[in-house]
Structure 1
Amino acid sequence: MAIPDGIQHLKFKSKDNTHWHNIKKPASHDGDSPKFPGCDHPYNLVKVKNWANGVEGETFSGITARFGAFLPKEEKNSNILTAVLSNPLNGCSPSSLQGCYGFLFCVLQLSGSIATVVRGGCDFTTKAEIAQSEGAAALLVINDEEELAEMGCEKGSSAQDISIPVVLIPKSGGQYLNKSIVDGQKVELLFYAPVRPPVDFSVIFLWIMAVGTVVCASVWSEIANSEETNERYNELSPKETANASAFKDDTEKEVIDINVKSAIVFVITASTFLLLLYFFMSSWFVWLLIVLFCFGGIEGMHNCITTVILRLCRNCGRKKLNLPLFGETSLISLFVLICCVVFAIVWAINRQASYSWAGQDILGICLMITVLQVARLPNIKVATVLLCCAFVYDIFWVFSCTDNISSECYDRGCSR
């Protein structure tokens, strides 16, 4: 299915760097999008805070329309308004009363509330005109897909007469709000459009964290084995020197050399995994990914923590314990393993919380340090093949395949 002329793929990132959305964007940048009086506003990121019966829920990311009123830039300058489902739900025809469905079977007036409609049936300006004519203070459009879409105007529309803000949110956020209203809960929303800073310090933080992980992994073997290496020169401790040599031999045996075939197979496996992720995405598959990540994170964290502890306190690993399945294990290793398992479980349970990124990054960094210690590129030939395959992999999946898979999302244009 072909992509309409003037429409291209764009990724839009929220200010807190937690959500990426694909946006249907006309032309190459905002200035090339069709504009006329009343339909010349820039597209801005919107934060949508919500409360159900007074309990605050997850903040959603949205996008403003090319038309309508501007939103406040700060949360404190915005008002909390009640969300009401439109009747009909697509908001394409007038209705003086809006249903509040659920066990209360109440009926709410739309006046002064946020009209909540679903995408489709008519263009965005028609939805906004009808909602405004019935006294709505704002219009919230629920998209029919997870990507955000730019809400433009049809030629000849009276967009200049629309004086209420219009916001679009992804399908998942809309389903959550819709379910809450249908269940009889009082849903309240707050819109504001924060100003994006010229310098995104979170990107700098991510760059420092990534570089720090690679640097730490490159010197990790020196951190772990420096004491044992120095013991070679200690003639008063020949027995410990022998143990150090054995330890070094065991460490080298754990290293896996990646050859050319392994590099190619790795990229093919990663591509296959992405296809499975796209076609079979479901709740059980997400949990499978979480469990696998937790296992890898536990292994990496256990390896990093025990290495540091034994580096600082060499006598801590001498106390052993015989376990039925694991054999002889040091007490400190067992204690660290239990702590790592508890840490991973707590993160998995609270992974939707705003602070969960810290636990995820800790598990990921420990996992990558361990992987970089185990995997080794023996020569420049293998490194070149791996980097070239990774480059093709990245270009294909980020640009080419994304447009081909998502092309059906763009045949409706940007006005509805």
Structure 2
Amino acid sequence: MATDSRASRLPFAAAVVVVLLAGGAAADDASSDDHAGASRTPGCSKKFQLVKVKNWVNGTEGTTFVGLSAKFGAPLPRDIQEAQKSFALLSNPLNCCSNLTSKLTNSVALATRGECAFTAKAKIAQAGGADGLLVINDNEELYKMVCSENDTSINVTIPVVMIPQSAGNKLQELLNHGTSVEVQLYSPNRPVVDLSACFLWIMAVGTIICASLWTEFVACEQVDERYNQLTRKDGPNMGTNYSEDKEIFEISANGAIVFIIVASVFLLLLFYFMSSWFVWVLIVLFCIGGIEGMHVCLVTLLARIFKDCGQKTVQLPFFGEALTLSVGVVPFCVVFAIFWALYRHASFAWIGQDVLGICLMITVLQMARLPNIKVASALLSAAFVYDIFWVFISPLIFHESVMIAVARGDNTGESIPMLLKIPRFFDPWGGYDMIGFGDIIFPGLLVAFSYRFDRASKKGILNGYFLWLTAGYAVGLFFTYLALFLMDGHGQPALLYLVPCTLGVIIIVGWVRGELHELWNYGKVQAEILVDEP
């Protein structure tokens, strides 16, 4: 599409903002068993459990909600068939901080947060004959009920579960009106093999492969002998009679370091000044980048398939000559992005987010390029430290992981869309598996470079570097999700595993083959050769 070059910079400008936030951690948003920070005093050694709370109102099944068990008390059954159904009753007093005035025999007590210790509530409810205790938290976040240092011996034999404020208030209101409420508590196991994570793995690896091969096999451009010099093939395969000046942003070593520093500052500002309107700005930028990315991908694909369509042009005010196909695709892309933005909280919204995100990343990987391994080392090493610091080390300074807090969009009711995500279809707890755009783009730049290097050096698939780096990225992403599983779902800095498996691989293989010097100085060496030519 022949247009003003300033317009073609729009997707990359939006993408830069996207990537600033997207170095992020691979994670899932469904919590799991977690015992970090809890005391291990006698009688207080049980792991936390996510709890499903099924309920029936006057015999009609209501909406099941999720709670979190205490560090103490009886464990809950894993199988719903083993779970006991009991009537729910309000404790009296409601905070369950003093002796009950009425018995709760064969029932589950419902109590508010109150001021007393959770262990005290549990003992009082147990003494009143309750089969279990539901504690209403004062917000939607589930608070971990642990044991104090003075609780040297805890004899609580009933399950104790924290439930969100909205669900608890609804149950309390029903019980205040004398409505019959029954509850059933159980904690099903999560599957050992997360098939949704496997699908996300395929999406991430496939995006990098597609972006690396896109130029030659989809856009019909071939890599010239000289680095970063693209020659468009003439003829019917191109689907157009004129060539387009393609803007390429070549990353420098200094630019890579500055980029990571700016990203860190921007991330910190988001952490302190996060608000719903600011997240909306990011959503708009994501939509702009996604629209342009989808437009570029669709026009290229359609021009490749329907060659005649790629030859017709039209004159537009302010834009000049443009492909008719391009003009026809723009409305579809705009409507697609607007539809996603309007229904971004729907159960199917992840599909639109992934489509826009993949198109955006393919476009970014065509526009931004690494000249050699020297720059790749600077960029990926800085991103490696960036990811680890803001996920693992920042909690020591800011009392929580800055990267994960920003990705969740804490206290805004919105989540940042710079993620590929897929529902956990086979997990009884639901939630999503996610990976940040940066965990695809940063290693993807290196994988794309390896393919261009192989083609320019006339290397085959077996004696080149592209296959090695693609396999390295796939293995690194596997290690990421293995660590996610072993760490009970805690967000992981994916670049911790991806950088050694990509940058480390190309450096080792290049050293073994005696080509490390050429890889390290590739763009510079090629430029010197061109200057020396008569």
- TM-score if structure 1 supplies the norm length? 0.70
The superposition leaves residues 227-286 of structure 1 with CA deviations (integer Å, 9 ceiling, x where unpaired) of 89999586xx8xx89946x23xx12xx110111222112212221222122111222223
Name the structure 2 match of 1:354.
Answer: 347
For the residue of structure 2 that corresponds to 1:220, the secondary structure is helix
**How do residues 256-405 of structure 1 correspond to structure 2 at under 5 angstroms?**
256-324=249-317, 326-405=319-398
Given that 1:123 and 1:154 are in contact with CA atoms closer than 8 Å, whether structure 2 keeps it comes out as no
Of 362-371 and 71-80, deviating more is 71-80
Given that 2:108 and 2:132 are in contact with CA atoms closer than 8 Å, whether structure 1 keeps it comes out as yes
**How do residues 205-224 of structure 1 correspond to structure 2 at under 5 angstroms?**
205-224=199-218
Count of matched residue pairs: 362
Name the structure 2 match of 1:46.
Answer: 51
The superposition leaves residues 29-63 of structure 1 with CA deviations (integer Å, 9 ceiling, x where unpaired) of xxxx6253x43323333345689998966954x43
Q: 1:385 Cα shift? A: 0.7
Structure 1 pair 401–40 and aligned structure 2 pair: CA distance change class (3 A): closer
For the residue of structure 1 that corresponds to 2:308, the secondary structure is helix
The superposition leaves residues 45-89 of structure 1 with CA deviations (integer Å, 9 ceiling, x where unpaired) of 3345689998966954x4322322332324565567787776766
Q: Distance in 2 between matches of 1:48 and 1:255?
A: 55
Name the structure 1 match of 2:68.
Answer: 63
Structure 1 pair 70–266 and aligned structure 2 pair: CA distance change class (3 A): same
- TM-score if structure 2 supplies the norm length? 0.57
Structure 1 pair 398–176 and aligned structure 2 pair: CA distance change class (3 A): same
Name the structure 1 match of 2:528.
Answer: none
Given that 1:43 and 1:66 are in contact with CA atoms closer than 8 Å, whether structure 2 keeps it comes out as yes
Name the structure 2 match of 1:34.
Answer: 40
Higher normalized contact order (CA 8 Å, seq sep 6+, divided by chain length)? 2
* Structure 1: gaps spanning 5 or more residues: 1-12, 28-32, 98-108, 408-416
For the residue of structure 2 that corresponds to 1:167, the secondary structure is strand
Given that 1:316 and 1:332 are in contact with CA atoms closer than 8 Å, whether structure 2 keeps it comes out as yes
For the residue of structure 2 that corresponds to 1:149, the secondary structure is coil
Q: 1:354 Cα shift? A: 3.4
**How do residues 62-141 of structure 1 correspond to structure 2 at under 5 angstroms?**
62-75=67-80, 78=83, 90-94=95-99, 96=101, 112-113=107-108, 115-118=110-113, 121-134=115-128, 136-141=130-135
Over aligned residues, Cα RMSD in angstroms? 4.2
Q: Distance in 1 between matches of 2:153 and 2:341?
A: 50
Structure 1 pair 383–297 and aligned structure 2 pair: CA distance change class (3 A): same
Name the structure 2 match of 1:200.
Answer: 194
* Paired residue type of 1:225: A
Q: 1:217 Cα shift? A: 0.8
Q: 1:389 Cα shift? A: 0.8
Q: Distance in 1 between matches of 2:325 and 2:182?
A: 51
Name the structure 1 match of 2:414.
Answer: none
Q: Distance in 2 between matches of 1:21 and 1:164?
A: 21
Identity of aligned residues (%): 48
Q: Distance in 2 between matches of 1:329 and 1:242?
A: 11
Q: 1:196 Cα shift? A: 2.8
Is 1:177 aligned to 2:167, yes or no? Answer: yes
Q: Distance in 2 between matches of 1:179 and 1:112?
A: 18
* Structure 2: gaps spanning 5 or more residues: 1-25, 224-230, 401-534
Is 1:163 aligned to 2:168, yes or no? Answer: no
| More strand by percentage | 1
Structure 1 pair 353–242 and aligned structure 2 pair: CA distance change class (3 A): closer
Name the structure 1 match of 2:29.
Answer: 18
Of 63-72 and 320-329, deviating more is 320-329
Name the structure 2 match of 1:414.
Answer: none
For the residue of structure 1 that corresponds to 2:162, the secondary structure is strand
Given that 2:215 and 2:222 are in contact with CA atoms closer than 8 Å, whether structure 1 keeps it comes out as no
Structure 1 pair 34–192 and aligned structure 2 pair: CA distance change class (3 A): same
Of 309-318 and 379-388, deviating more is 309-318
* Paired residue type of 2:309: C
Q: Distance in 2 between matches of 1:76 and 1:327?
A: 69
Given that 1:80 and 1:188 are in contact with CA atoms closer than 8 Å, whether structure 2 keeps it comes out as yes
Q: 1:149 Cα shift? A: 2.8
